[in-house]
């Protein structure tokens, strides 16, 4: 069974990944049912990451 992560744990993981890729973060925004608080047990996490500089996807 997978461990359920808190918002804080998810944010920490995202920041660690982006830091390792040398990407500067401007903001991280949670939206959708999790942000509103009306999520279900199996709801996904909708996350928008705004970066400070252009990044290459290649």
Integer-rounded Cα radius of gyration of the chain: 13
Distance CA 9, CA 45 (A): 13
pLDDT of residue 36: 95
Let me know if 15 is exposed, middle or buried by CB neighbors in 10 A (0-12, 13-18, 19+): middle
Is residue 2 pLDDT above 90, yes or no?
no
Higher pLDDT, 2 or 27: 27
At 29-55, the pLDDT tens digits run 999 999 999 999 889 989 999 999 888
Report the residue count for the chain.
Answer: 58
Residue 34: what are its φ and ψ, rounded to 5°? -65, -40
In this prediction the pTM is: 0.69
> What ranges do the domains of the chain cover?
7-51
């Amino acid at each position: 069974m997978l461990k359920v992560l808190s918002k804080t744990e998810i944010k920490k993981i995202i920041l660690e990944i982006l830091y390792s890729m040398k990407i500067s973060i401007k903001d991280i925004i949670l939206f959708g049912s999790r942000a509103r608080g009306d999520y279900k047990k199996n709801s996904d996490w909708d996350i928008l990451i705004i970066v400070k500089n252009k990044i290459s996807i290649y």
